[in-house]
Structure 1
Amino acid sequence: MCDANSGFINLGDGILIDTQSDVKHAQMMIDLLSTISEGHPKFIINIHEDCDHVFGNQLFRNSEIIAHKSVPERIKLVANLEHMKESSTNDDNHLRLKAVEKQLAEDYNLSDVELVLPTKLFDEKYTLKIEDYNIELIYVGPCH
């Protein structure tokens, strides 16, 4: 089924947190969400740039995709496997990258992924107002 990286806040038109690792898994998530909510979520939050958080963005082109201002450039780097290989200089990083490549090849189809960047960027903090609720997005620095 889907990765465990996504979340959904069922308020107003909906808020989806992260969009999965590929189109197939993103569509599976959309199908699952349709059992509890109508239509696509209006807001998407990409918590960071890793492929398992953003490679389903293309299925949400009509939603506002929100992320920290550092995410667009970093998505481009993460999507470039050759760059990841070049930046992998020690044995631990090399082994980790090999494990990631193997898992991606076995579990995901990246051939139809189109990079869709966030449409709304914030610096330190962003407030998303939905109904009577304020959803606070706070950048706390690089972390996982």
Structure 2
Amino acid sequence: MTVDVSLTSYPGLDDRITVIRAGDEVDAVFVSTERFNVLVDTLGTPSLCRRALELLADRMRDRPLIVVNSHMDWDHFWGNRAVGGAPIIAHQSAIDRLRDPSALQTLEQKRTTEPRFDEVELVPPTLTFSGESMTLHGGDLSLHLLHTPGHTPDHLAVWIPEIETCLAVDAVEHPIPEVWSSAPDDLRSLRSSLDLIRSLNPKQLVLAHGQTSDHAVLDRNIAYFENIQEAVALVPASELMSAALAQREGMRLKDFVDLPAGMSFGAREFYERCHRSNLAATIAARGAS
């Protein structure tokens, strides 16, 4: 599989922000401040990250580079090896994810399917913080790293108040985000993270997946989880554990969201799986209430 890297933007997005697009795989973001540059995520391989840095060379202006790993999903941090000695910041819970055997298992599985992952090493963050937030003061811009768990335990979004812009990464996704597990606490965390981002009232919203800055995606994500909860509440308890529940009319993904026109079969299958995970978490939350 060949993935091309390009630089792009959205209408109205501040020119100090550059979207780095790795094909259909993921978007990372580059932010230029008076004091330093910030790279939010390093893409899925060191080669992709190196290519991104080459394209960004004329925007670096000899300022030091700071890297933020939004979370330890492979497509967001496997390029870490390419940033050399630049500090890499993440939430403390990212270290727990890296220590879990599943992190290396995922890499080994990926290597069996695509040779491009042979160069990947699991390079950990060099700086972590605990709690709800950390702020990078860039002079003209401040980047507030907000712990927004739910999609993953370690997930960060980035709020830049001076330009009312939120880099939501995977907390907001088009067409839907996916909850970390079926544990009720994870679902509550994701919905709280969505509410937190909405409370910021961002004028610009930048996602890592979906290739859109449509502000309405946030409201649609929130409505999606509200509607699933309402639908699950109407299902008799004896039918909640049916394996076919997600295929029942009124419970299918397409009953809750309008899927993008031209979505590939693979992408549709992926989001169907996300929907089944979200449905299972909603059922578990009902049982725990």
TM-score by length of 1: 0.74
Aligned partner of 1:127 in structure 2 is 135
1:114 equivalent in alignment to 2:121 = yes
Tell me how far 1:14 sits from its aligned partner: 0.4
Tell me how far 1:41 sits from its aligned partner: 5.2
| Cα separation, 2, equivalents of 1:141 and 1:118 | 18
Query: Closer, same or farther in 2 for the Cα pair 1:125/1:84, shift >3 Å?
Result: farther
Match of 1:140 among 104, 127, 148: 148
Residues 79-118 of structure 1: CA distance to partner in whole angstroms, max 9, x if unpaired?
3236998xxxxxxxxxxxxxxx59x834x61111122111
Query: Closer, same or farther in 2 for the Cα pair 1:109/1:50, shift >3 Å?
Result: same
Tell me how far 1:39 sits from its aligned partner: 5.0
Aligned partner of 2:92 in structure 1 is 69
TM-score by length of 2: 0.39
Bigger relative CO (Cα 8 Å, ≥ 6 apart): 1
- Secondary structure at the counterpart of residue 51 of structure 2: helix
- Secondary structure at the counterpart of residue 67 of structure 1: strand
Whether the 8 Å contact between 2:107 and 2:117 is mirrored in structure 1 is no
| Cα separation, 1, equivalents of 2:96 and 2:85 | 21
Q: What runs of 5+ residues in structure 1 fail to find an aligned partner?
A: 86-100
- Secondary structure at the counterpart of residue 54 of structure 2: helix
For 1:74-85, list aligned pairs within 5 A. Answer: 74-77=97-100, 79-81=103-105
| Structure with the larger helix share | 2
Aligned partner of 2:30 in structure 1 is 8
| Cα separation, 1, equivalents of 2:119 and 2:107 | 20
Q: What runs of 5+ residues in structure 2 fail to find an aligned partner?
A: 6-21, 152-169, 171-289
Whether the 8 Å contact between 1:66 and 1:120 is mirrored in structure 2 is yes
Tell me how far 1:33 sits from its aligned partner: 0.8
- Secondary structure at the counterpart of residue 48 of structure 1: coil
Moved more, 61-70 or 33-42: 33-42
For residue 50 of structure 1, what is the amino acid of its counterpart? D
Residues 35-86 of structure 1: CA distance to partner in whole angstroms, max 9, x if unpaired?
322458521111110111111111113111111111123135453236998x
Whether the 8 Å contact between 1:7 and 1:18 is mirrored in structure 2 is yes
Query: How many equivalent pairs are there?
Result: 127
